Amino acid sequence: MRLHKNLVFATISALEDIFNQGQLADKTVERVLKQDKRWGSRDRGFIAETTYDIVRWKRLYAKIAGVRPPYSREDLFRVFAVWAVLRGISLPDWKQFSGTPVRRIKGKFDELSRIRKYRESIPDWLDSLGAKTLGEELWTAEIAALNQQAEVILRVNTLKTTRSELQQLLAADKLETETIKGYPNALRLKKRANVFASPTFKAGLFEVQDAASQLVAPFLQISPGDFVIDACAGAGGKSLHLAALMENKGQLLALDIYPGKLKELKRRARRNGVHNTETRHIDSQKVIKKLTQRADKLLLDVPCTGTGVLRRNPDAKWKLQPEFLDRVIQTQKTILRDYSKMVKKGGTMVYATCSILRQENSDQVQEFLQSDAGEEFSLEEEQSIFASEAGFDGFYMARLKRK
């Protein structure tokens, strides 16, 4: 592979914003990719994938390069050089790369690869917590799996098409896909591509959604005529799936504390041909109170550390702090206590996270069941999905029944 100056410089700018300005990796990459209209898909792919790669391996590469934050441009070029050397890419004779110690980089890599927190490029506190929570063996496998780049998985919008029809339409658009056993509405892209540019996406025939995430809506076991509440709906990834399973019948109420996310949900719902969904902004506790014992089915896809989705958000490894874990655990407790009141007697609730930490998952559910608010509930089924076992994102879901 030959390195092109403008692509490498664009990558360095992206890294500067992410590492030094604390900007989000996805938003930064999106912005940088708009800088030059002449870039083709391979150029864009290089910038996006290299940036993500270096974000993912930041601790390891910075240690090998011997640089510390805040990173100067020279530091970032050194980190970039480590990335290139470890991938066997020969460095061009630009002044930024002069004197790169290729043999030393390889030697340091071998030495640091023996220590998990460097090899997997994770903060000390997260490494200790993961090992304590999951046990050494599972954590070692899990963090390695969470450091792999996520594949592109689509969820077929069954309100508008079928899986085989979509597969054919995508193939006509040069997007080859394959089905995944055990995931009835999923298609895996054989080769990474920008699916959002496809007319099939614009026509609402699919959404991009990880296979593990596609298990959550069916886990709620909804029937078409149900009154369903998705209480932490965000921009509606799972609401759209719920609406499709409901076959546009019954009623789906999507709630969130951020009206901007609900606006995006409405836009996506229009594209998806969803007609049974209403959004409501939670601007006070009254919104929840008014819905007391109304829901046949309630989904609590609560805010969490996102430790199960590090494959797609590698910068979360650096943004996440122990204090955030404590705070989010409190938020989850409050949501479970207050929002569970919306479930009818005889109704069902699913509590879900994209975290692999027990503290946010089964511990929360057990504590809820033993509390006053959880008195009338019993646990019907729970499922922990690990990236190292399933090959998809890490997820947790528990289905509880109200007596």
Ligand X SMILES: C[S@@+](CC[C@H](N)C(=O)[O-])C[C@H]1O[C@@H](n2cnc3c(N)ncnc32)[C@H](O)[C@@H]1O
CA distance linking residue 78 with residue 61, whole number of Å: 9
- When asked if residue 335 is in the footprint of ligand X (CB under 6 A), the reply is yes
For residue 188, what are the β-bridge partners? 153, 178
Least CB distance to ligand X at residue 16 (A): 29
For ligand X, the closer of residues 180 and 287 by Cβ is 287
CA distance linking residue 77 with residue 71, whole number of Å: 10
For ligand X, the closer of residues 78 and 238 by Cβ is 238
CA distance linking residue 33 with residue 28, whole number of Å: 9
Site for ligand X in 236-275 (CB under 6 A): 236-238, 256-258, 261
CA distance linking residue 389 with residue 258, whole number of Å: 34
- When asked if residue 301 is in the footprint of ligand X (CB under 6 A), the reply is yes
Please name the helix (run of DSSP H) or strand (run of DSSP E) that holds residue 108, with its range, or none: helix 102-112
Site for ligand X in 173-212 (CB under 6 A): none
Least CB distance to ligand X at residue 277 (A): 13
231, 291, 295, 365: residue in contact with ligand X (rule CB under 6 A): 231
Least CB distance to ligand X at residue 219 (A): 13
In degrees rounded to 5, what are phi and psi of residue 4? -100, 135
CA distance linking residue 18 with residue 324, whole number of Å: 19
Q: What angle do CA 180, 353, 152 make, to 5 degrees?
A: 35
Name the segment binding ligand X (CB under 6 A); options: 43-51, 70-78, 225-233, 384-392. Answer: 225-233
Least CB distance to ligand X at residue 377 (A): 19
Residue that has been written with the tokens 């898909």 in this structure: 41
> 81 near 97, Cβ under 8 Å?
yes
CA distance linking residue 305 with residue 308, whole number of Å: 8
Least CB distance to ligand X at residue 64 (A): 34
# residues near ligand X by CB under 6 A: 17
For ligand X, the closer of residues 85 and 274 by Cβ is 274
* 363 is an annotated ligand-binding site residue: no
Tokens describing residue 93? 């004779």
Beta 251-256 vs 277-281: how paired, if at all?
parallel
For ligand X, the closer of residues 144 and 287 by Cβ is 287
Tokens describing residue 28? 């930064």
| 148 HSE (CA, 13 A, CB side) | 14
CA distance linking residue 52 with residue 254, whole number of Å: 32
Residue that has been written with the tokens 């999923």 in this structure: 186
- When asked if residue 282 is in the footprint of ligand X (CB under 6 A), the reply is yes
- When asked if residue 234 is in the footprint of ligand X (CB under 6 A), the reply is yes
Q: Catalytic positions, please?
A: 354
Name the segment binding ligand X (CB under 6 A); options: 35-43, 50-58, 168-176, 227-235. Answer: 227-235
* 301 is an annotated ligand-binding site residue: yes
Q: What angle do CA 255, 256, 258 make, to 5 degrees?
A: 145
Cis peptide before 123, with omega less than 30 degrees from 0?
no
CA distance linking residue 337 with residue 304, whole number of Å: 16
- When asked if residue 303 is in the footprint of ligand X (CB under 6 A), the reply is yes
Q: Give the chain's radius of gyration (CA, Å).
A: 23
134, 152, 229, 232: residue in contact with ligand X (rule CB under 6 A): 232
For ligand X, the closer of residues 100 and 158 by Cβ is 158
Least CB distance to ligand X at residue 65 (A): 35
Q: How many CB atoms lie within 10 A of CB 72?
A: 11
* 256 is an annotated ligand-binding site residue: yes
Q: How many CB atoms lie within 10 A of CB 133?
A: 17
For ligand X, the closer of residues 118 and 395 by Cβ is 395
Q: Please state the residue numbers annotated as binding site for S-adenosyl-L-methionine.
A: 256, 283, 301
Site residues, ligand X (CB under 6 A): 231-238, 256-258, 261, 282, 301, 303, 331, 335
Binding residues, as ranges, are 256, 283, 301
